[in-house]
Structures are given as structure tokens and as C-alpha cells.
Structure 1
Amino acid sequence: MSTKQEVLVSWDKDKKWEEIKSVKNEVIDKSVTTVAKPGVRYWFTEKGGSKQSFISEVGALFISFFFAGIVPLLIILFFIGWLSRRARIIFLCSFLTLLIPVKVYDITVLKWRLWDCLYDYFSYSMIFDGGFDPNRKYLYAQYPHGVAPMATAVSGMGLTYFSPTIPCYSLTTASALIIPVYSVIIRWLGSIEASNKKLREALSEGSCNVVVDGIAGMYVNEPDKEMVKFSGRKGFIRAAVETGTPIVPAFNFGNSRLLALIPKFLEKPARKLQCAMGIIVGRWGLPFPKKIMLLTVAGKPIEVKKMSRDDPHYSEYVDEVQQKVADELQRVYYKYRCVYGWENRPMEIY
């Protein structure tokens, strides 16, 4: 019995894409809804980089620690708990946070001024290349994952200032939703379990972020190029086709450089267990993300024709849409890489 061979996306590493050197810049007013204009770089802060206050930077490190360092901390508490009663109590009490009733995607929490610390720390900005409608639901195909999808988390908060009436959920592994403390925070920010059922439910209610390369992207840390994974990544395409949801490819410049996960040979068991394995290395050699500027560029929406799995052209159409996503991601990457300062950093699809 023969099996259908997977159709891989094509890419031409020698193709010359349109590139621009600069864009118009605006700082958003967080007290009102911002109407996104194509090609404008929207800054979420005027206090980024060296302008960030000491208190704001400490706040950002504290918040980001829950995204990257909470698991190592719990492991340390577990082992110290054998020797220290206090550590044992703290470790056990942390699991009580799993009992807290949490509203998934809480718009009030998403607009806390506390998150300004992250906007400052990462000097965060967004660009919509065109076609963004604040009243439509989208499936955002985000790249890259990196060790921690910090840029995706921050962009999810940022979207509330452009499209406040459409909730934007984010897929995450089931294991992440049972981590004490961490699970509370990410649920507030809109995280849901990465499953076909949950994704379709999310798209029926609003938009959804999908960090396509997932756990595989956690172990990619190339010093001189960006690596994005497309092979075997069709689940989100199928969900978009079956619900008729337009796809917006988005690239997060800088996210791959925030942290590193070592050793790399743990990638295979980590993917099987659906959880990160290894040592997270960031700023000062600790599990804190480096203070690197982040820029999210959202490409033009790819309109998707609604089609059921029973349609004889279904598989062919899924492959067609996947190729469009790959082409659009490459286009926006090369168009804006000089704006970010990566004019000599190519993208490679695998």
C-alpha cells in the first residue's frame, strides 16, 4: 500500500526580493484604538533601550523570567525541598495556582501598564504590510518560535490596541498549561491548548496566533541566518481551510536571538514529550532573555477558500495555501530586514 508523499514548499535562495531601507515611524497612543496604516512602524514605547528606567528593566526581567525561567526554578525548589522545609512549602504552594479560576484572554489584564516594562525592554514595534482589517478574524502564522516565543506573546498584547473587539488566542502545548504560576499568566494572555479542536473553537470566536515551528524551533540557533520550518506543518493550514479563515504570515525579528537552549541532542525526546528539555541560556548566562529589539512584521492576509476534507481537491488546495504562506513570509522578511538591521542575514526554509 503506497502512502502519499508530502509536498514540500519550494524556495529560491537566490531570488531577489524587494527590500526597503526605512519606513515611517509612529508611537501609538495606548488610550485609543490605533488605525493600522500599511508600512508604518508602530512603536509601543519611547523609553526603549538605554532610555529604559532601572525599575522598568527589573520589572521586565521579573516578568520574562516566568516565560523562560519558571520551570528551572521549580526544579531547583523540588530538589532543595528535600533539605529545606521552607523550599518544600513554597514548591507545594505553587501548585495551588492551578486551582485559580482564570479567564482566558482577559482584555483588562492585557492592557495592564505592567506590560509596558516588556515594550521598553525589547524596544517593541509592529508593522502591518497591508490589508489589515480590525474587524476580521485572522490566523496569524508566527515565526520563529525560538526558545520562548516572547515576540508572539508581546504582539498578542499589542494587537489589542489595533483590534480591541476581536480576541486573539495563542496555541501552546498542553504541558505548559499545567505549570504552576506560568499557566495563570499565559491563560490571561489568551493561551489555549494546541489541538485541532481548540484551534477551530478559537477561530470561531476570534483570531489565533500559531507559532508554526513549535518545539522544533526551540533548538534552532543559527548565528548567521534565520531558519524557518515548513515541512510537516500543515495542521494550521487545514484549520484555516476548513473554517475559511484568512492567514496572516508574521515574522518576529530578533526573537531567535533572545535565548539559547542546550544541548541540541535533546530535541527529539523533547518533541516526543511535547515539552522543552535542556538548559536555557540568555542574558548573563541565566534564563533571562537578552535585551534585544523586537520587531513584528505582519504580511498581507492570504484569503482562504472554505473547503471540507471530503472535497477531492482538499489536499492539493492545502499544499497550495502552504506555498502562499511560505512565499509571503519570505517576501515580508526580505522587504523589512534592512529596516531591522539584518541586511546580511538570509532566511532558509526547511
Structure 2
Amino acid sequence: MQSCWHFDTHKYTITRFNCLFFGVQILVLPLPCLIITVLSALGNISETPWGSSTGVNRGRTALLGCELGCLTHLTNTGCLCAGTCDFWPVSALYFAWIIFDWDAPEQGMGSYSLIYCIYHFRDYFPIQLVKTHSLLPSHNYIIGAHPHGILCVGAFCNFITESTGFSEKFPGIRPFLATLAGNFRLPVFREYLMSGGLCPVTRRAMGYLLSQNGSGNAVAIVIGGAAESLSCQPGVTTLILKNRKGFVRLALQYGAHLVPAFSFGENDLFRQVVFEEGSWMRGIQRKFQKLMGFAPCVFYGRGLTSIHSRGFLPYPKPVTTVIGEPVTVPRIKEPSHETVDLYHAMYIRSLLKLFNDHKAKYGLSEADELRIL
């Protein structure tokens, strides 16, 4: 038993995109299965000339699988080590640090979003970022990211990495991506999220980034959240937005301009079993969502060894995130319901314009419409 702890963690290169699949790997991919699938993939790669496109694609797939597996199991091992008696001094020091550093996630601290190490991840799909309007460094922004999809691949790649050239397209703008606050209560994983420039989607965190962190901040929020992930399917463009107005109120209170962003192809990365409203399975999903903050989706993607097998890697489908025209928002400390409704409607109009202007360019037809619930 003791020998299982003898490994050199310095041999691993951990990149930030692995957090996309962290929860999935903990639940469904135990270590023996991981080893078998990775070895199988490497075996297939060795039979393919690396100069060919097939060899390169297999290499990217194996890299993605190996790295997400390494992150998951190293994190699990670290948590287990912290809980053993032999490691109690380290555990005590780390938890003392967490208490001392408790407010750091809500202040956007620990962001290293300019790490140039995930280009293979970008090219696997591929993912690209399209700019339609400039963002001025003299303002702060709330970016509404749509749709949620299963794992927000487009939002993660574009807003917490430099693989798609965010800082080059929007000079002077610092992007942040807001995620569930509960994720920042997990030891070790908390530091990992902060290293990618993520922050909790709380009023306190939003208030700090939009008022006490200077100008040029762009906080991306996936507006549809868990409720939207339950309905995502390939080719379906339905957003949960009609009654989501909290982000508009925040924008008004801090004078942050609203920017719509739509990731075409996000819903094509996985296949999901969608349960009908009123069914007992949908009821379980809703209760779990209310209790934990996220919904347990029943989905699958491609396997590690073949695109025709089933597994939990996303399908290699193009994802294009288009940043739309900002909606200029005044600063109103206590906005009325009517004012919130007005700017919410303006935001939806800007989002619809973005969608209709670009849908035919990025995989949809002119007949496809954006449904807002």
C-alpha cells in the first residue's frame, strides 16, 4: 500500500483546461480504466505516422486524455495525503493558508491567464474567438456567455487562456470567468481554478472586480447556468435568459457595459439524454441542481482511442465564440425594475443580432432561430 505514494509529481505538466472534465473524471473514470485507455490510445498512435493528420489528431486526443487524468488523480491523491496522520503538519499549514487567503478568489487574485500551454486543446476542436467590436480599457464589462452547453468549453478556452489571442484582440482588457462559488471551497482544486483566472459568481466578487480593481475588467458569466445545460443538444439553440436579470442589475449598479458572446458549436460537443419536463428523472435533476448548484447531466462523448467509440472526451467539432456589440449602461446605484427590464431587453436585442448575423457562417442555417426561455 505504501508504494502507491511513491511518484514524482514533477514529471507531469498540468494545464488549466483539465478543469473542464474534473467532475466527470472523479465520478466515472477510476485509475485502472484510465491506464488502460491511455495505453490503448498510445498504442494506436505508435502505429500512425506522426506526419499525417491522423497521427496529429490522435496525439492531441491522447494528450487531452492523459493530462485530464493526471490532474484528476494527482488532485485526489493530494487530498488523500492531506487526510492522513503522516501529513498532518502539511494539512494544518495548508488549511491555515486557506483561512488567511479566504477572500482571494473574490478579488480575482492568482490569475495567470497568459499561460501559453494549451494550443493543442484549442486545435483539437478547433476553437476560435471572433471580434466584432472593440472593448475600451477605460470601461468595465460583463460578458454574457451563451450557451452553457455541457462543460462551457468555449468560455473556458477563450476567457481564461491566451490560446485564441484574447489580449491581442482586446488590448488592455483583463478577462475573468465566473463559476460556482462552491468550487473554491475544495482544497487544492481551489488553487487550480484561481491559477486560471476564475472567480466565484457571487455579488461580492462581481462588486470587487467591477468597482475596486480599476478599469479594463471583463467578467464573463455563463448566464444560462445549470438549467440551460439540462436541455442542450446538437443543433438546438435554446437559451435560459428571459428571467435572468441579476447580471443586468449588477451592470447598472457598477456602470459596467453588457457584452453578448455566443459560442457556435458549443452544444455539438456532447450527446445528452434529455428527460421530459415532469418526468421523475428531470425531477431528480432539478432537486440536485437546487441543492448543489449544478445539474447531473446524462451525456457522453467520444472515446480516447476512436471517434466512433463512446467516452467522456468531447467530439472534435468547431467552436466559434463571437463577441458582439456592447450595450452602453449608465451607473445607477438603485435601478428600478423598469430600468432593469429596459436594459435586459436591449441586451437580448444585441444578442439576437449577433446570432442572426453570424449563424450561417458557423454551422447553422438561415432558418435556425434562437429560442429564449
TM-score, with length taken from structure 1: 0.70
Instruction: Give the counterpart letter for 1:154 in structure 2.
Output: C
SS class of match (1:126) = strand
Query: How big is the shift at 1:124?
Result: 1.6
Match of 1:93 in 2: 81
Residue pair 2:270, 2:315 contacting (<8 A) in 1 also? yes
User: 2: CA distance between counterparts of 1:252 and 1:106?
Assistant: 26
The corresponding residue for 1:23 is: none
Pairing 1:198–2:205 present: yes
Could you report, residue by residue, the CA deviation over 1:169-215 in whole angstroms, capped at 9, with x for unpaired residues?
A: 22111222234554333221221111112111122222200100011
CA–CA distance in 1 between the matches of 2:353 and 2:180?
Answer: 29
1:189 matched to 2:196? yes
Distance 1:298 1:116, change over 3 A: same
The one-letter amino acid paired with 1:346 is E
Indicate which of 351, 354, 357 corresponds to 1:329: 351
Comparing 55-64 with 232-241, greater Cα deviation is found at 55-64
Partner of residue 120, structure 2: 117
Tell me which residue corresponds to 1:31.
none
Confirm or deny: 8 A CA contact 1:227 1:347 kept in the other structure: yes
Structure 2, gaps ≥5 residues long: 1-52, 84-90, 276-281, 304-309
Q: Which of the two has greater helix per residue?
A: 2
Q: Which secondary structure state, in structure 2, belongs to the residue aligned with residue 142 of structure 1? A: strand
The aligned runs of 1:25-104 (5 Å cut-off) are 52=56, 54-62=58-66, 92-93=80-81, 104=108
> What amino acid maps onto 2:340 in structure 1?
V
Deviations along 1:47-93, one digit per CA (max 9) or x if unpaired, are: xx8694544333334456699xx5xx79xx8xxxxxxxxxxx66613
Match of 1:276 in 2: 295
Q: Is the 8 A contact 1:153 1:189 kept in 2?
A: no
Amino acid in structure 1 at the alignment position of 2:325: K
List aligned pairs for 1:212-291, cutoff 5 A.
212-260=223-271, 262=273, 264=275, 265=282, 266-273=284-291, 274-284=293-303, 285-291=310-316
1:122-180 CA distance string (max 9 Å, x none):
21211122243355321101101111111111111242333454322221112222345
Q: SS where residue 326 of structure 1 aligns?
A: helix
Give the deviation of 1:223 after TM superposition.
4.0
Identity of aligned pairs, percent? Answer: 20
User: RMSD of aligned C-alpha atoms?
Assistant: 3.2
Q: Which runs of 5+ in 1 are unaligned?
A: 1-48, 78-88
Q: 1:318 maps to which residue?
A: 340
Question: Separation in 1 of the partners of 2:173 and 2:329?
Answer: 19
The CA distance in 1 between the partners of 2:82 and 2:273, in whole Å, is 27
Does the CA contact (< 8 Å) of 2:131 and 2:169 recur in 1?
no
Instruction: Report the counterpart of residue 173 of structure 2 in structure 1.
Output: 166
Task: Give me the whole-angstrom Cα distance separating, in 2, the residues matched to 1:338 and 1:231.
Answer: 24
Which is higher, the Rg of structure 1 or of structure 2?
2
Say if 1:94 and 1:181, in contact at 8 Å, map to a contact too.
no
SS of the aligned residue for 2:263 comes to strand
CA distance 1:295–1:63, change in 2 (3 Å): farther
Q: In structure 1, what is the Cα distance between the partners aligned to 2:122 and 2:196?
A: 15
Which structure has more RCO (C-alpha within 8 Å, separation ≥ 6)? 1
Q: How many residues align?
A: 283
